[in-house]
A and B are shown apart, each in its own frame.
Chain A
Amino acid sequence: MKRLLGKTKLLFLLSFIVLLLAGCGQENLTALIPKGYGADSSFYLIVLTTIVMTFVFLAVIIIYSIVLIRFRKKKGREDYIPKQVEGNKTLETVWTIIPIILVLIMAVPTVLATFDLADASDADEHINIHVTGKQFWWHFDYEKEQIHTSQDLYIPVNTKVYLHVKSDDVLHSFWIPSLHGKIDANPENVNTIFIEAWEEGVYQGLCAELCGLSHSLMDFKVIVVSEEDYDQWVQDMQSVNVDDESLDAVAQDGKALFEENNCMNCHAIGSPADYAPGRVPVGPDLTNFGNRDKFAGVLEPTKENLVEWLINNEELKPGNHMKNMDLTEDEAGKIAEYLMQLKHSDVTPESVKD
């Protein structure tokens, strides 16, 4: 894989620049600016196959243009009857053999890369995270670290991280375009991939398999932090204590309302002591909610948005499974305040962006 990469490095670089000039989309969202191992493997094959196929396309277009210019019906020879050629063995052999060679040029690296990306033999030595897709959000369960979190996936930079992906309801597909291609979240089995991000940052994740009304709003974020920050974050998440939080008076009221309305029936907060491997909450885990890059996948984490969500979430995310809690605006405001103050770590999407 690496050797092949070296050989085509120049072409690779050249086409990369061309694509960059043509506009590749938004960084950390587009697959055209790969920033991780899997996305890079894919991108290499995208470029290779594009170059080979462009060669074929040009061959077709050149012959096509000559045909159109030379053999179009011309004045004075309307009745010309061309020679009725049956075929030509040599020519036909040529345009059978050349495509076979071209196919081989593309097939060999494809097969190599397919096996390379599917190799999970060293999973035990790395971070293992169980990913669960649900309508319309994602849950992350850090097996060894015993941490639950939803929607924001924290991983260290330049480290292999194994993801074990499944679905809790219908079929979803897990996609972080800048880091790795898709893997389906099947309800019947676990699919394993590894990701390795090469740059710190906040990466956009998407659902790529039609899964219901809010399929297009089922976003998540991958927050790639330095090794030290990651360790810090893990430590912070492991030492969350819900009973010992510095909340202001409004948030205290919010917390009471949160409990009164039995929100924790669906939404877990903190409680590392209760960690159960493989448990997927009914609704997103709200630990560290105040540090979310977005909430409900696509909404800015402002108090107004949160109040709007608590009162009228169907409008914002059709088909989502959150119950209507019949909250007044005042109650929703207090709960929002409480949730916004749930900041359990200093390692945040904001701190990575800086």
Chain B
Amino acid sequence: MGIAATEKRSIGAFIWDYLTTVDHKKIGILYILGGGFFFLLGGLEAMVIRIQLIEPNNDFVSAQTFNEMLTMHGTTMIFLAAMPIIIGLMNVAMPLQIGARDVAFPFLNALGFWLFMFGGILLNLSWFLGGAPDAGWTSYASLAMDSPGHGVDFYISGLQIAGAGTLMGGINFIATIVNMRGPGMTYLRMPMFAWATLITSILILFAFPALTINLFLLMFDRMFDTAFFNVNLGGNQVIYQHLFWIFGHPEVYILILPVFGIFSDVFSTFSKKRLFGYTAMVFATMLIAFLGFMVWAHHMFTVGLGPVANAIFAVGTMAIAVPTGIKIFNWLATMWGGNITINAAMHWALGFIPSFTIGGMTGVMLGSAVADYQYHDTYFVVAHFHYVIIGGTVFGIFAGLHYWWPKMFGKILNETLGKITFWLFFIGFHLTFMIQHFLGLMGMPRRYWVFLEGRELDLGNFISTIGAFFMAAGVIVFLYNIIHTAIKGEQAGADPWDGRTLEWSIASPPPYYNFEQLPLTRGLDPLWIEKTEGNGKIVPGEPLGDVHMPNGSILPFLMSFGFFVAGLGFIYQVDHWLGYIALYGGMAFAIGCMIVRSLKDDHGYYIPKEELEEALVEREAD
């Protein structure tokens, strides 16, 4: 039941279907749509920042607006764009890759998405309700406490709600991979993307509670007059920084490890080779994740933690270069001796290698504590993390979208337009950010509303802004590509890329139950094994029988809406007692939905064996 089937029904039924869906593929698409929307919003904010900095002493926006823009750009891109799109891709691909019919908790999956969406909307409502948060995406406590108005309150409530959704998503993926791998799909036969999903989810599980706690403490300080971070009352704002980065550093790996998985699949598929050093890749990913929890204080070298702490965290940080290096060389070795097809998806993957290597290089350089005294909080850092997050995560997202688009929508994204997007974006990206390394060292701190004339920073900033326009043009071409593909796109078969993993063994888009019979996995790259050693078809791992499916439900949507209203209530209860109505009302509504969910029996339904038999016969006929 893909897009084609649903289009025949009325628009109302279509929307209702997506509001109530618990199907991992549809939720994945919702995540990508929602994340894509926020990606465009964050991109617009980035353009405002770059236009303001096109020349010295510019007054395109006021200092207040600028601080709001930089805060919302960072917050939006990380929490509302990059992470949701990645979770969307995980939702679409991971269950198919491990041979499962859905995730372990489909209802929770839907709830996770709607919490993210309502959290994101709540955060962005601040633009219309007195101003957005303005204390940076890190929202360091001393400045966040000092910020007047409700901007920072929207940051707290919005992220708290969205963060709860992400945490649920992480737990759900762990449960899915541990419990629902198909017959024969042992851990060490899982595709790298499934591995990356598992490890990332574990990171989410351990990292997000630190954020939750931190946001609660900040919320109590701002709304209920506690003094966790209020230095005048004996609080300590350095603790905020610690808690933030105990979450924040693993967060960077939450953004990058999944795309490592995407690239592993893409390189191996389009080189027609098995991933080189698969086991080493798995353990390198685990090691990166583990070390990722050990290095948070490298964001705090200038805080004054003392030489012992600085030295330990410096060495720990540099150590991450080792497993990351292993991965880079293993990807190169995967392509070595292969038969490489360079299509749009592969463009992004190939563009990733040099770009991300530069980001990794500067990462190691930043790890050297004394050198970091100069880099810290300058455009050098801005350049570094954009090289990692754009050169890694965003390139990976584009590669993943091109790679799985046919699986999601049954059509291949236009290759020519895809390549134009890549080149515009790739050139723009390096134009924008390469020069920023130098700007930082030449004395341009980050988050500067204006830079002054006569400091030899003019040319670099000008080049950087020009680059940003190239990137924007690339994104516009990609949007056009989506529309173009939807209207005139080439129909994709089940296996347009000569794939190696299970998702390519079923129709594009897949039936709502994914597999009539769960597939039998006989090794790494199961489809490839069947192609080379069997008849090219996956062997069923179970007899044909009735399939148990979950019912759709509007409750996740309603529950999230309840929390959204309660979030508004928390923000406004400091001004007016009406806020309490929203607070208690929203909470009561959400809890009411939970009670309904708990008390109402919902055993799902069965797809009768006959329907699956018909589908199988139809597939044989193709």
Q: Which residues of A contact B (CB under 8 A)?
A: 22-26, 29-32, 38-39, 41-43, 45-46, 49-50, 53-54, 56-57, 60-61, 63-64, 67-68, 71-73, 77-78, 80-88, 91-92, 95-96, 99-100, 102-103, 106-107, 110-111, 113-115, 117-118, 167, 169-171, 173, 175, 177, 180-184, 186-189, 191, 204, 206-217, 298, 318-319
Given contacts A26-B455, A208-B445, A212-B146, contact A81 B272 (CB under 8 A): yes
Cα-based distance from A53 to B271 in the complex (angstroms):
28
Does B307 make an interface contact (CB < 8 A)? yes
Given contacts A53-B365, A92-B326, contact A318 B371 (CB under 8 A): no
Does B285 make an interface contact (CB < 8 A)? no
Interface of A is mostly: mixed
Q: List chain A residues, Cβ under 8 A from B143.
A: 170-171, 210-212
Q: A199: shortest Cβ distance to chain B, in Å?
A: 17
A38 near B443: Cβ-Cβ < 8 Å: no
B142 near A30: Cβ-Cβ < 8 Å: no
Q: B312: shortest Cβ distance to chain A, in Å?
A: 9
Q: List chain A residues, Cβ under 8 A from B354.
A: 57, 60-61, 64
Q: List chain B residues, Cβ under 8 A from A212.
A: 67, 143, 146
B236 near A32: Cβ-Cβ < 8 Å: no
Query: Of B67, B319, B340, which contacts A67 at CB under 8 A?
Result: B340
Given contacts A71-B335, A103-B319, A180-B373, contact A29 B365 (CB under 8 A): no
B341 near A187: Cβ-Cβ < 8 Å: no
Q: A44: shortest Cβ distance to chain B, in Å?
A: 8
Can you report 26 residue pairs joining A to B where beta carbons are below 8 Å apart?
Answer: A22-B438, A26-B454, A30-B456, A42-B370, A42-B373, A46-B368, A46-B371, A49-B371, A53-B364, A67-B335, A67-B340, A71-B339, A72-B340, A73-B342, A92-B330, A103-B318, A110-B311, A110-B370, A111-B315, A114-B307, A177-B441, A182-B376, A208-B302, A210-B140, A216-B63, A216-B450
Q: List chain B residues, Cβ under 8 A from A208.
A: 302, 376-378, 445
Does B247 make an interface contact (CB < 8 A)? no
7 closest pairs, A vs B, by CB? A181-B373, A25-B442, A191-B304, A118-B307, A216-B448, A87-B277, A53-B361
Q: List chain B residues, Cβ under 8 A from A175.
A: 445
B274 near A183: Cβ-Cβ < 8 Å: no
Q: List chain B residues, Cβ under 8 A from A91.
A: 329, 333
Does B69 make an interface contact (CB < 8 A)? no
A319 near B63: Cβ-Cβ < 8 Å: yes
A188 near B237: Cβ-Cβ < 8 Å: yes
Query: Of B278, B447, B455, which contacts A87 at CB under 8 A?
Result: B278
Does B369 make an interface contact (CB < 8 A)? yes
Q: Mark B10-49, 1 if CB is under 8 A from A, else 0.
A: 0000000000000000000000000000000000000000
Q: List chain A residues, Cβ under 8 A from B236.
A: 188
B67 near A213: Cβ-Cβ < 8 Å: yes
A181 near B374: Cβ-Cβ < 8 Å: yes
B276 near A85: Cβ-Cβ < 8 Å: yes
Does B616 make an interface contact (CB < 8 A)? no
Query: Of B238, B337, B371, which contacts A186 at CB under 8 A?
Result: B238
B142 near A171: Cβ-Cβ < 8 Å: yes
Which size bracket describes the interface of B in this complex?
Answer: 35 or more
B314 near A110: Cβ-Cβ < 8 Å: yes
Q: A261: shortest Cβ distance to chain B, in Å?
A: 27
Q: List chain B residues, Cβ under 8 A from A71.
A: 271, 335-340
Query: Of A31, A78, A186, A319, which contacts B442 at CB under 8 A?
Result: A31
Q: List chain B residues, Cβ under 8 A from A183.
A: 302, 304, 373
Beyond contacts A106-B368, A117-B307, A182-B377: 7 other A-B pairs, Cβ-Cβ < 8 A, are: A46-B374, A85-B337, A111-B315, A114-B314, A114-B370, A188-B238, A189-B304
Cα-based distance from A118 to B238 in the complex (angstroms):
19
Residue of A nearest to B274 (CB): A84
A25 near B314: Cβ-Cβ < 8 Å: no
B374 near A86: Cβ-Cβ < 8 Å: no
Residue of B nearest to A117 (CB): B370
A95 near B326: Cβ-Cβ < 8 Å: yes
B274 near A181: Cβ-Cβ < 8 Å: no
Cα-based distance from A198 to B335 in the complex (angstroms):
52
Cα-based distance from A99 to B276 in the complex (angstroms):
19
B279 near A210: Cβ-Cβ < 8 Å: no
Cα-based distance from A91 to B333 in the complex (angstroms):
9
Given contacts A56-B361, A100-B322, A181-B302, contact A85 B146 (CB under 8 A): no
Query: Of B280, B353, B362, which contacts A64 at CB under 8 A?
Result: B353
A111 near B238: Cβ-Cβ < 8 Å: no
Q: A322: shortest Cβ distance to chain B, in Å?
A: 16
